């Protein structure tokens, strides 16, 4: 992991240095030179990362960082919107070339599915860029866009991923009635069909979906599938999907704060790597804490609706076996499989643990919001923004 972070750091350090050279923006052909440099760097990185998937996720999480700063430089030449489209296209070209050299199967289903999974996440950035281009200084329109994104984007995600409806067993239908989740679509998740996994997207009933891969449905028993589904329902019932966007607000504030520092604003050679470090640290510490907290709360939800603990425990063991992950391997955002199994067993024997964890989850969110609001208010008072 340390090697991966070092390579990412060096990549962005080099790109930052390149952006500061006057020749980069002097002619349109310079954009081609920068593009070739980006593709070459991504290929080199792909040969250095032990986990290609980690490389792909890491690079794509930083697309918008590159874009926001690069747009300010090349925008006078080709326009903001075209600059954003060019950046996204170049990023995915580099990723596909990386996949081609790493897997030696450039048109493999794994490569296409991975890129198909990531592509929809660039659309909000492109849409926001278009709004900024054609409707500058219109905060109300941006607010409407963000609300619409929160409501309708999950349905668009499922469409772009090629998800299709799947039949439900009678036991699953009974569980949906018991948890009052009848207005939830159940779809296959083709972009991850090689993995045994599941997810829930969307907050509102007509736009809410639970995604299950074919491998998960094929390899797990009916009771185990029901336990996985109720686990995902637990995320919805505990309002995790609503809170995740809230977690990103302080991160945006931190990045904005960095750009307000005069020295850093004038020396992008140090600004880009610092932002990368802030994002990595924030995800590892803050997001990691809350994702572990939420996953444990979702693990305990099947017990609250009366499912046997063995159902989810066996599902976790089987998923770990299918992925080749040791049960005791630490996980920064989910806990290890063994820790999750042990916690389910303890909560089954002592149901007070479920209520205690629910209370801890609520209090943690409340404290986080209070700290974020107080810090933001104090900071803006001090710097006078």
**Whether residue 190 is found in the same domain as residue 76:** no
Task: Answer yes or no: do 214 and 226 share one domain.
Answer: no
Query: Is 144 a domain residue?
Result: no
Instruction: Quickly list DSSP for 168-197.
Output: --HHHHHHHHHTT-TT-EEEE-GGGTTS--
Domain assignment of residue 142, yes or no:
no
* CB-based contact 224:318 (threshold 8 Å): yes
Residue 108 lies in a domain: yes
Residues 159 and 111 grouped into a single domain: no
**pLDDT at residue 350 in the model:** 96
Per DSSP, the residues of 118-152 read HGGGGHHHHHHHHHHHHSTT-HHHHHHHHHHHHHH
Question: Final residue of a domain: which of 85, 107, 137?
Answer: 137
Q: Are residues 3 and 112 in the same domain?
A: yes
Predicted pLDDT of residue 191: 87
Q: What pLDDT sits at residue 94?
A: 54
Residues 52 and 28 both lie in one domain: yes
Tell me, yes or no, whether 338 lies in a domain.
yes
Q: How far is CA 364 from CA 62, 234, 290, 361, 383, in A?
A: 28, 17, 8, 5, 28
Q: Say what the pLDDT of residue 302 is.
A: 96
- Torsion sign (Cα): 42, 47, 48, 50: positive
313 and 169 belong to one structural domain:
no
The region, left, alpha or beta by phi > 0 then psi within -120 to 50, assigned to residue 289 is: alpha
Angstrom distance (rounded) from CA 284 to CA 332: 7
290/170 same-domain check: no
C-alpha–C-alpha distance, residues 100 and 21, integer Å: 31
98 and 171 belong to one structural domain: no
Q: Which is it for the CA torsion 44, 49, 53, 56, positive or negative?
A: negative
Q: Do 122 and 33 share a domain, yes or no?
A: yes
Q: Final residue of a domain: which of 190, 219, 248?
A: 219
For residue 276, give its domain range: 222-385
143 in any annotated domain: no
Q: Under a CB-based contact definition with an 8 Å cutoff, are residues 214 and 196 in contact? A: no
Q: How far from the centroid of its chain's Cα atoms is residue 107's Cα?
A: 25
Distance CA 105, CA 16 (A): 32
Q: Are 41 and 11 in contact (CB under 8 A)?
A: yes
Cα distances (Å, whole numbers) of residue 171 to 175, 224, 298, 325: 6, 11, 20, 29
Distance CA 92, CA 105 (A): 16
End-of-domain residue from the set 103, 137, 171: 137
With respect to residue 266, please indicate whether it lies within any of the assigned structural domains.
yes
Q: Please give the pLDDT value at position 146.
A: 85
Same domain, yes or no, for 235 and 371? Answer: yes
Query: Rounded to whole angstroms, how far apart are CA atoms 352 and 347?
Result: 7
Note whether 30 and 79 are same-domain residues: yes
Residues 123 and 189 in one domain: no
Q: For residue 279, is it within any domain?
A: yes
What confidence score (pLDDT) does residue 278 get?
Answer: 83
Classify residue 321: in a domain, yes or no. yes
State the Cα–Cα distance between residues 43 and 41, nearest whole angstrom. 5
Task: Give the tokens for residue 187.
Answer: 């779809």
How far apart CA 235 and CA 202 sit, in angstroms, is 11
Overall domain count for the chain:
3
pLDDT in tens, the chain (385 residues): 344 444 444 444 444 444 444 444 444 454 555 555 555 555 555 555 555 555 555 455 444 445 444 555 555 554 555 555 555 655 555 555 555 555 555 445 666 776 777 778 778 877 877 787 778 777 788 788 888 888 899 999 999 999 999 999 998 999 999 999 988 999 999 988 888 999 999 988 889 999 999 999 999 999 999 999 999 999 999 999 999 989 988 988 887 787 777 666 665 556 666 777 787 788 889 999 999 999 999 999 999 999 999 999 999 999 999 988 899 988 888 899 999 999 999 999 999 999 999 999 999 999 999 999 998 888 877 765 5
């Amino acid at each position: 992991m340390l090697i991966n972070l070092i390579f990412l750091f060096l990549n962005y350090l080099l790109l930052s240095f390149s952006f500061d050279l006057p020749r980069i923006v002097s002619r349109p052909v310079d954009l081609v030179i920068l593009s070739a440099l980006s593709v070459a760097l991504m290929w080199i990185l792909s040969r250095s990362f032990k986990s290609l998937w980690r490389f792909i996720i890491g690079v794509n999480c930083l697309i918008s960082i590159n874009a926001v700063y690069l747009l300010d430089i090349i925008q006078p030449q080709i326009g903001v919107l075209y600059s954003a489209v060019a950046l996204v296209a170049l990023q995915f070209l580099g990723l596909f070339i990386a996949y081609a050299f790493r897997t030696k199967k450039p048109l493999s289903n794994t490569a296409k599915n991975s890129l198909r999974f990531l592509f929809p996440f660039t659309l909000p950035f492109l849409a926001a860029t278009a709004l900024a281009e054609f409707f500058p200084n219109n905060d109300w329109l941006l607010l409407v866009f963000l609300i619409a994104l929160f409501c309708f984007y999950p349905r668009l995600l499922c469409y772009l991923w090629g998800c299709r409806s799947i039949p439900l067993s009678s036991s699953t239908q009974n569980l949906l009635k018991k948890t009052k989740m009848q207005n939830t679509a159940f779809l296959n998740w083709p972009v991850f069909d090689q993995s045994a996994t599941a997810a829930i997207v969307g907050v509102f009933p007509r736009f809410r979906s639970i995604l299950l891969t074919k491998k998960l449905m094929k390899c797990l028993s009916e009771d185990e599938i029901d336990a996985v589904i109720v686990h995902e329902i637990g995320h919805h019932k505990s309002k995790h999907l609503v809170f995740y966007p809230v977690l990103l607000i302080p991160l945006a504030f931190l990045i904005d704060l960095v750009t307000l520092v005069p020295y850093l604003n004038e020396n992008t050679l140090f600004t880009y790597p610092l932002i990368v470090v802030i994002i990595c640290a924030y995800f590892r510490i803050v997001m990691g804490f809350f994702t572990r907290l939420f996953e444990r709360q979702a693990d305990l939800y099947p017990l609250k609706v009366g499912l046997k603990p063995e159902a989810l425990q066996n599902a976790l063991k089987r998923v770990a076996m299918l992925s080749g992950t040791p049960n005791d391997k630490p996980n920064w955002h989910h806990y290890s499989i063994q820790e999750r199994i042990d916690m389910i067993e303890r909560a089954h024997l002592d149901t007070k643990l479920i209520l205690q964890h629910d209370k801890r989850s609520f209090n943690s969110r409340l404290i986080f919001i209070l700290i974020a609001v107080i810090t933001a208010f104090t900071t803006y008072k001090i710097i006078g923004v």
